[in-house]
């Protein structure tokens, strides 16, 4: 199916909507939890001075324009790095997509089903771009959540705003000139801002196209277009090979979505599963550990760039810190990355005994960031080993409905009372049958 026709006319199967509904539920939860994080608060303060609108900022009492609401909600959704992942796009797809479809959906009083269809359209486009460009694009330093996410959110917003195929094509090509985001900013407030910018820019691109703005029709695949500028090693015309099966093969079902059960970079999750399972099985203490060796793929060290983190955000991108948390606390949660934990002597002692290195024996055909081997040397000379191929929450080991519900409620508890959180969970579980998404966003606001 033609890309622009797909954006406008795609008819996702019921299973795809089910997967999208789970992703939206999970993302709204982390959006609520992230609304009180410093990066999210800064964005909220800035846009508060730019006038009101009709779209709600979840977990707060603010309303804003559609683009500003998308910016604020997208930033909040990624602020804790607790939002989902896709290992084809190498992006956090849902943070920008959900923020964008909520904002665009409020503008047009869209139904829950329309919101899910728009999400799927954006997800599918990001998946095709990921297959065409990754891992090269990611290895060059681009943050796919922002770059590919901007294209995906433009498609999703175009779908919700009711653009025809020509205007939807212009929206995507406008978005191609908006897309950016650098991995060098991992571990800073700018990383969650990337998700907010992708959401905002996608909604803006669709609204500009709706108002009549046109773009170069080859902005994606042209000789100086998006694929060449941000990849450069593939014939951009070959992108058609990756879009030919749009509408017949669904990336959201084939590749799936990885739900995070730890609020840290996804590259730490295989290690965390392996290390936590090893600790539970062998029952050793932090004091018994003399050394921890962690083997990873070649891309992981380009992501986990903070061996000695100075902030909680940096700690989310620190293999030594996350490994130490697993050993010292036996769990990894939102509070693990509180600034006070960085100074915990028991944490720093174990952190300094952790070494990460590329393991050439790992499966080279596996998606990046999905494998780990751990070896824990104890002071009595024993060496305890474990390996992981994927982690809990991955499509092969999906989070259960109970796990999703528990995660949602724990996140929502940061900004609303239990009864309101339970009501919110119920409506999110029935999102496909909601007649106007405004009823959902109203429930997800607070008075503060």
Q: Which residue has the tokens 């191609």?
A: 176
The number of C-alpha atoms within 13 Å of 122 and in the hemisphere containing its C-beta is: 42
DSSP E strands in 31-132: the ranges are 55-56, 63-64
Answer whether residue 422 is part of any domain. Answer: yes
Answer whether residue 398 is part of any domain. Answer: no
Q: Determine contact, residues 193/47, Cβ cutoff 8 Å.
A: no
- Residues 415, 354: one domain? no
- Residues 413, 434: one domain? yes
- Residues 179, 230: one domain? yes
Average the pLDDT over 210-229 and give the result: 95
Rounded to the nearest 10 degrees, the angle between the axes of helix 418-429 and helix 14-34 is: 160
Q: Determine contact, residues 193/43, Cβ cutoff 8 Å.
A: yes
Query: What pLDDT, in 10s, does the model give residues 354-395?
Result: 999 999 999 999 988 999 999 999 999 999 999 999 999 999
Answer whether residue 448 is part of any domain. Answer: no
**pLDDT score for 447:** 64
DSSP tag of 142: B
Answer whether residue 399 is part of any domain. Answer: no
Query: What pLDDT, in 10s, does the model give residues 393-415?
Result: 999 899 999 999 999 999 999 99
Answer whether residue 279 is part of any domain. Answer: yes
Residue 234 or 139, more confident: 139
Three-state DSSP class for residue 299: coil
Tokens of 333: 């949660």
pLDDT above 70 coverage of the chain, percent: 100
pLDDT at 208 over 70: yes
Q: Determine contact, residues 85/91, Cβ cutoff 8 Å.
A: yes
What is the rounded distance in angstroms from the CA atom of residue 123 to the CA atom of residue 117?
Answer: 10
Q: How many residues does the chain have?
A: 448
- Residues 71, 149: one domain? yes
- Residues 23, 101: one domain? yes
Answer whether residue 321 is part of any domain. Answer: yes
- Residues 239, 382: one domain? no
- Residues 18, 156: one domain? yes
Short-list 331, 314, 335, 328, CA closest to 273 = 331
* Residue 162 burial by Cβ neighbours in a 10 Å radius (0-12, 13-18, 19+): middle
Query: What pLDDT, in 10s, does the model give residues 118-176?
Result: 999 999 999 999 999 999 999 999 999 999 999 999 999 999 999 999 999 999 999 99
Query: What pLDDT, in 10s, does the model give residues 324-339?
Result: 999 999 999 999 999 8
Query: What pLDDT, in 10s, does the model give residues 128-139?
Result: 999 999 999 999
Q: What is the mean pLDDT of the chain?
A: 95
| Helix or strand holding residue 385 (H, E) | strand 383-389
Strand 354-358 to 289-296 pairing: parallel
- Residues 278, 185: one domain? no
**pLDDT score for 51:** 77
Q: Determine contact, residues 174/209, Cβ cutoff 8 Å.
A: yes
**pLDDT score for 231:** 87
> In which domain, by residue range, is 433 found?
3-261+406-443
Rounded to the nearest 10 degrees, the angle between the axes of helix 165-178 and helix 144-160 is: 160
Rg (CA), the chain: 21
Q: Determine contact, residues 428/28, Cβ cutoff 8 Å.
A: yes
Answer whether residue 401 is part of any domain. Answer: no
- Residues 270, 253: one domain? no
Measured over the CA atoms of residue 7, residue 8, residue 9 and residue 12, the dihedral's sign is: positive
Tokens of 118: 């728009």
Query: What pLDDT, in 10s, does the model give residues 248-283?
Result: 999 999 999 999 999 999 999 999 999 999 999 999
DSSP tag of 353: T
pLDDT at 448 over 60: no
DSSP tag of 386: E
Answer whether residue 332 is part of any domain. Answer: yes
If one counts the domains in the chain, the total is 2
- Residues 153, 25: one domain? yes
pLDDT at 84 over 60: yes
- CATH number of residue 38's parent domain: 1.10.4100.10
Q: What share of the chain is helix, strand, coil (3-state, %, to 5)?
A: 55, 10, 35
Average the pLDDT over 422-437 and give the result: 98
**pLDDT score for 271:** 97
- Residues 121, 230: one domain? yes
Q: Determine contact, residues 77/30, Cβ cutoff 8 Å.
A: yes
- Residues 286, 353: one domain? yes
Query: What pLDDT, in 10s, does the model give residues 15-73?
Result: 999 999 999 999 999 999 999 999 999 999 999 988 789 899 999 999 999 999 999 99
Tokens of 355: 């070494």
- CATH number of residue 377's parent domain: 3.30.1330.120
């Amino acid at each position: 199916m033609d890309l622009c026709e797909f954006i406008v006319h795609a008819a996702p199967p019921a299973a795809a909507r089910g997967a999208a509904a789970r992703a939206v539920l999970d993302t709204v939860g982390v959006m609520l939890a992230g609304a009180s994080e410093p990066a999210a608060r800064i964005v909220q303060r800035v846009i508060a001075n730019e006038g009101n609108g009709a779209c709600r900022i979840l977990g707060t009492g603010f309303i804003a324009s559609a683009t500003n609401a998308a910016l604020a909600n997208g930033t909040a959704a990624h602020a804790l790095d607790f939002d989902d992942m896709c290992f084809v796009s190498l992006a956090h797809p849902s943070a920008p997509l959900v923020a964008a479809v909520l904002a665009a959906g409020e503008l047009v009083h869209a139904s829950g089903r329309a919101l899910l269809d728009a999400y799927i359209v954006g997800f599918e486009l990001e998946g095709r771009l990921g297959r065409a460009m990754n891992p090269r694009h990611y290895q060059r330093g681009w943050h796919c959540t922002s770059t590919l996410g901007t294209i995906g959110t433009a498609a999703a917003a175009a779908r919700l705003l009711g653009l025809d195929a020509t205007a939807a094509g212009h929206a995507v090509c406008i978005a191609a000139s908006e897309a950016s985001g650098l991995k060098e900013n991992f571990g800073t407030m700018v990383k969650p801002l990337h998700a907010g910018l992708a959401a905002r820019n996608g909604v803006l691109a669709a609204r500009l196209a709706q108002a009549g703005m046109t773009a170069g029709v080859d902005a994606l695949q042209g000789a100086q277009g998006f694929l060449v500028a941000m990849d450069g090693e593939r014939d951009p015309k070959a992108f058609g090979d990756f879009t030919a099966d749009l509408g017949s093969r669904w990336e959201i079902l084939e590749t799936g979505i990885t739900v995070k059960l730890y609020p840290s970079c996804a590259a730490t999750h295989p290690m965390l599963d392996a290390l936590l399972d090893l600790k539970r099985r062998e029952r050793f203490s932090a004091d018994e550990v003399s050394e921890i060796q962690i083997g990873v793929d070649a891309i992981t060290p380009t992501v986990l760039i903070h061996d000695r983190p100075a902030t909680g955000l940096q700690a989310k991108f620190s293999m030594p810190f996350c490994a130490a948390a697993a050993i010292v606390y036996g769990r990894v949660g939102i509070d693990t990355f509180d600034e006070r934990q960085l100074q915990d002597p028991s944490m720093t002692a174990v952190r300094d005994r952790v070494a990460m290195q590329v393991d050439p024996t790992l499966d080279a055909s596996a998606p990046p960031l999905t494998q780990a081997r751990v070896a824990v040397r104890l002071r009595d000379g024993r060496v305890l080993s474990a390996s992981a191929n994927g982690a809990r929450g991955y499509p092969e080991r999906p989070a259960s409905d109970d796990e999703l519900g528990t995660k949602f409620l724990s996140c929502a508890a940061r900004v609303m009372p239990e009864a309101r959180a339970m009501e919110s969970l119920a409506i999110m579980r029935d999102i496909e049958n909601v007649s106007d998404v405004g009823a959902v966003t109203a429930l997800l606001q607070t008075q503060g």
